[in-house]
Amino acid sequence: MSTGVEQTVAIIVGAGPSGLATAACFHQLSIPYIILEREDCIASLFYKKSYNRLHLHLTKNLCQLPHLPFPSSYPTYVPRPDFLKYLDDYATHFNIIPRFCNLVKCAKYDEDVKRWKVETEVEGGGVGWYEGRFMVVATGETSDVFIPEVDGLSEFKGEVIHSTQYKSGKGYENKNVLVVGSGNSGMEIALDLSEYGAKTSIVVRSPIHIVSRWSVNLGLMLLKIIPLHLVDSFLVLVNKVIYGDLTSYGIQRPPKEGPFAGKVRNGKYPIIDMGTTEKIKSGEIQVLPALKSIQAGGYEVVFENGSCHQFDVIIFATGFKRSTHMWLQGGDCLLNEDGLPKPMYPNHWKGENGLYCVGLARRGLYGAAMDAENIAQHIFKLI
Ligand X SMILES: *[C@@H]1O[C@H](CO)[C@@H](O)[C@H](O)[C@H]1NC(C)=O
Ligand Y SMILES: Cc1cc2nc3c(=O)[nH]c(=O)nc-3n(C[C@H](O)[C@H](O)[C@H](O)COP(=O)(O)OP(=O)(O)OC[C@H]3O[C@@H](n4cnc5c(N)ncnc54)[C@H](O)[C@@H]3O)c2cc1C
Q: Examine residue 371 and tell whether it contacts ligand Y (CB under 6 A).
A: no
Window contacting ligand X (CB under 6 A); options: 20-28, 55-63, 298-306, 326-334? 298-306
Window contacting ligand Y (CB under 6 A); options: 39-47, 124-132, 256-264, 310-318? 39-47
CA torsion 240-201-53-269 (nearest 10°) is: 50
Asked if residue 190 lies in contact with residue 344, where contact means CB atoms within 8 angstroms, the answer is no
> Among ligand Y, ligand X, none, what does residue 18 contact (CB within 5–8 Å per kind)?
ligand Y
Q: Mask of contacts with ligand X, 244-283, x by CB under 6 A?
A: ------x---------------------------------
Instruction: Work out the angle at residue 238's Cα, subtended by the Cα atoms of residues 233 and 243, and round it to the nearest 5 degrees.
Output: 125
Q: Examine residue 359 and tell whether it contacts ligand Y (CB under 6 A).
A: yes
Helices in the chain by DSSP H: which ranges?
17-28, 44-48, 80-93, 184-195, 213-222, 228-243, 259-266, 276-281, 324-327, 364-382
- Cα 112 → chain centroid: 36
Number of residues that bind ligand Y (CB under 6 A): 34
From 274, 270, 278, select the one nearest 216 (Cα to Cα).
270
Asked if residue 62 lies in contact with residue 366, where contact means CB atoms within 8 angstroms, the answer is yes
Helices in 38-79 by DSSP H: which ranges?
44-48
Q: Tell which one of 158, 254, 289, 330 touches ligand X (CB under 6 A).
A: 289
Q: Tell which one of 355, 368, 369, 370 touches ligand Y (CB under 6 A).
A: 368
β-partners of residue 288 are 203
Cis before residue 346, ω within 30 degrees of 0? yes
Q: Examine residue 15 and tell whether it contacts ligand Y (CB under 6 A).
A: yes
Q: Mask of contacts with ligand X, 24-63, x by CB under 6 A?
A: ----------------------------------------
Q: Examine residue 307 and tell whether it contacts ligand X (CB under 6 A).
A: yes
Q: Tell which one of 68, 84, 103, 226 touches ligand Y (CB under 6 A).
A: 103
Q: Mask of contacts with ligand Y, 325-344, x by CB under 6 A?
A: --x-----------------
Helix (H, G, I), strand (E, B) or coil at 337: coil
Separation CA 183–CA 346 (nearest Å): 26
Number of residues that bind ligand X (CB under 6 A): 7
Q: Tell which one of 306, 337, 344, 381 touches ligand X (CB under 6 A).
A: 306
Q: Tell which one of 138, 246, 294, 355 touches ligand Y (CB under 6 A).
A: 138
Residues near ligand X (CB under 6 A) are: 250, 288-289, 303, 305-307
